[in-house]
Amino acid sequence: MIQVETLEQHIAELDDDSFSKLREWFLEFDQSRWDKKIEADSNSGKLDFLINAALAEHQAGRTKAL
């Protein structure tokens, strides 16, 4: 696997157009990984505590209609 330092060096040498394309690709890649992680955590029940907390707040009358 390529070391981070090597990647940093190559990125620093990119022209503006190539850097812009890399940035756009990386943002999309990062967001996709985040979405997959959130979906996996949700499916496994790791986020159920958030649902339970929201339901408890609602049942206690501490919410309002949007």
Would the pLDDT of 1 be above 80? Answer: no
- pLDDT for 45 equals 97
Question: Structurally, how many domains does the chain consist of?
Answer: 1
The reply to whether 1 falls in a domain is no
Residue 65 inside a domain? The answer is: no
Q: Is residue 24 part of a domain?
A: yes
In a domain, 41, yes or no: yes
pLDDT tens by residue, 17-64: 999 999 999 999 999 999 999 999 999 999 999 999 999 999 999 999
Residue 26: the pLDDT is 98
What is the Cα Rg of the chain in Å? 21
Among 29, 1, 25, smallest CA distance to 14 is for 25
pLDDT in the model for residue 7: 95
Domain extent, residue 47, equals 15-59
In a domain, 48, yes or no: yes
In a domain, 8, yes or no: no
Quick check: is 33 in a domain? yes
